[in-house]
Structure 1
Amino acid sequence: MAGISTGSIYALVALGLVLIYRSTRILNFAHGDIATAGTFFAFALLELGVHFGLAMVAALLFGALLAIAFYVCVLIPAQRREATQLGQIILTLGLGLILQGLISYFGGTEPQSFPFPLSDTKVYQFRGVVISQLSLGMIGVGMVVSLLLYLLVQKTRFGLAMRATSENLPAAQTLGLPTRRILALSWGLAAFLGVLAGLFLAPSLFMDPFFMLEPFLKGFAAAILGGLNSLPGAIVGGLLLGITESLTGGYISLAFKNSFAFLVIIVVLIIRPEGLLGTEFKERV
């Protein structure tokens, strides 16, 4: 159960990375830092006495708008100047470093405790299974958000436009789809998921400008494990990574926890280089 709860958060991070990669073929290395900025924004609002619900909504919107602004103001001009894919990835790395500096300046570098309505110490027991209130919340939000994202992508006109844009951008532009707007909203949705993951991770970790670094790396690994072009793969990869980590820490050694999880990923990728649910990317030259 601990692995499922942690894996649910890894899945949220991985879903955001996959959303961006599917649509633009860009790996967003600022994803974790945007999530950190949104979480610190919520913390600042809580310090001012804002209700937690309003602070959470404001933080999610802040993260989404930050990502949209980066795409519109930085990436689109870079693409118009025919920036390479690697160059655009470096721009996301630059954004991450800028955000780290700003968070350190305004939020401080000292670890801080994040107030959250769900407790990490209050636990429930059911037939020998012990799970905390916060872990239940993580599992619940992971399931609900995954379901809502599936419905958005598969059952709405916007989701159809997203899939068309990610499948064939020139064809989508030819058909008159507002691809720039669709891609901008995809970046915003990805940041929304990242900030949501940060808000649920902050209570169990001490907040500092780098507290989302390890969850970002785990989410990145989960996305690769499941397949960088597969949204269901991101969910499966996140859950598998979380469960593998917890079982390794419980039955083998805490010191070997991270190593064994990544060893599993290496083995899977040797067998299936495109990931568990990913499809091979083919491009006609």
Structure 2
Amino acid sequence: MFTFLQLLVSGLAIGSVYALVALGFVVVYRASQVFNFAHGELLTFGAFIMVTFTGLGLWWPLALVASMVATGLVSVLMERVFLRPMVGRPVFVTIILTIFLGLILRIAIMATWGTDVRGMPTPWDTSAALRLGEASILYNSVAAIVASGVVLALFFAMIKYTRLGIAMRATASDQEVALALGIPVGKIFGVTWFSAGAMAALGGIFLGMFPRQVEPTLGYIALRAFPAVIVGGLESPGGAVIAGLLLGVLEVLSQAYINPHLGAFGHNFHAVFPYVVMIVFLIVRPHGMFGQKDVERV
């Protein structure tokens, strides 16, 4: 029988991944007004490249950093080669293009690594757990929470306290004004996409440590993180993180406490529960918990 503490930690671990993925969606949208539907495939690429690096004997922490960097560079390449020439085009054009890029990247992943399920190597036994009273907490869950917390803290510290972060905030507020002030908007786009890709890779790596393992369809988890973007607020990085953590916890708790009471209808109800929350927010508060209403003066 799972204890509440065990469920809470498991929910926070999944929520940490949702937070990383949702934050990637939000920062890219704020900077370049592009909703990147290829984000899930970047997550998958990061997981597979991690398997490759560790298979080559690279020290695990170094392989982790190298995988994040490699995925970030692929993300930058996508933006620079395919999406930047689309500046000024209608929104649906970039949406279709990112969907197409996601399909191409998924095919490239399957062509390179095949369709077999891979195990994610870890420095510890994948079944190793901490004992806290009656609770048994997997090392994988603790590692996901700690690593995600460190990366998120570093990202927000960069945004708040560095010149690069100020430039990123200025670009997100108004690209034309930022350009007029001498801010290299193109480079800021590159940094933003790199950050989003690196965070997606980290999320994919820790997802691979859970029973999902690493497979070409791992990127669909990005769609599971999508409600966090809406609930937190499409233009609120902090809101995306908080919503991702909350939805991860709610998903695990609903699996434990709601699914058993719904009979046949409850099979995998927890998988759609975040979408139920999203729909409620779209009805009651469509701009999300921390989003702002668009005000137009005529």
- 1:4 corresponds to: 12
AA aligned opposite 2:174: N
Q: Deviations over 1:14-68 (max 9, x none)?
A: 1111110111121100111012112211212222222222322221111111111
- 1:67 corresponds to: 75
Runs of 4+ aligned structure 1 residues displaced above 3 Å come to 281-285
- 2:3 corresponds to: none
- 2:252 corresponds to: 246
How much has 1:175 moved relative to structure 2? 1.0
Matched ranges for 1:252-267 at <5 A: 252-253=258-259, 255-267=268-280
Moved more, 139-148 or 44-53: 44-53
- 2:201 corresponds to: 195
Q: CA RMSD in A?
A: 1.6
Moved more, 139-148 or 106-115: 139-148
- Percent identity over the alignment is 37
* Counterpart check, 1:175 vs 2:181: yes
Q: 1:109 aligns with which of 107, 115, 122?
A: 115
Maintained 8 Å contact 1:274/1:280: yes
Maintained 8 Å contact 2:42/2:219: no
Q: Deviations over 1:72-113 (max 9, x none)?
A: 11112222xx42221112111111101111111110001111
TM-score by length of 2: 0.90
How much has 1:269 moved relative to structure 2? 2.4
- 2:262 corresponds to: none
Q: Which runs of 5+ in 2 are unaligned?
A: 1-8, 260-266
Moved more, 186-195 or 252-261: 252-261
The 1-side partners of 2:144 and 2:100 are apart by 30
Q: Deviations over 1:258-285 (max 9, x none)?
A: 2333212211221110011111234668
Maintained 8 Å contact 1:32/1:194: yes
Length, aligned pairs only: 282
TM-score by length of 1: 0.94
- 1:277 corresponds to: 290
- 1:43 corresponds to: 51
Maintained 8 Å contact 1:222/1:241: yes
Maintained 8 Å contact 1:72/1:184: yes
* Counterpart check, 1:84 vs 2:97: no
- 1:142 corresponds to: 148
Q: Which runs of 5+ in 1 are unaligned?
A: none
Give 3-state SS (helix, strand or coil) of 1:237's partner: helix
